[in-house]
Amino acid sequence: MTVSSVNSTSASTSTSSTNKNSLASLNSGDFLKLMLAQMQQQDPTNPVDQKEMLAQMAQFSQLSSTTEMSDTLSTISSKLDTLVTAQTSTNEALTSLAQQVAASQATDSSTSA
């Protein structure tokens, strides 16, 4: 399959996308734009092979799932951090309370003797 017309219309994009930082910033919207440009620029007498199109759609689906999973894991991580902080605070409060009770009992024992 030849996609020279897509490459020629997006020369600035391909030049900037060689930088690792710009590649990392690509998202699903960029993928859809590239796929749409490819479909618009294809030769009607020689369209993209269905297998290639399905492979690209599978890649998009995988990208979308991975992004969603990353967002979900970030949310879970944030909630776990909050839970750990709350548990640490609770443990510190219980330890302090236990020390106060022990000190109070020791004071009561020495006073009543």
- pLDDT, tens digit (0-9, with 9 covering 90-100), for 1-52: 445 544 444 444 445 445 556 666 777 788 788 888 888 888 878 777 888 8
What is the Cα–Cα distance from 17 to 84, expressed in whole angstroms? 41
- Residue 48: count other Cβ atoms within 10 Å of its Cβ: 15
- Domain chopping of the chain, boundaries: 1-48, 60-113
Structure letter (DSSP) for residue 45 = T
- pTM, whole model, 2 decimals? 0.50
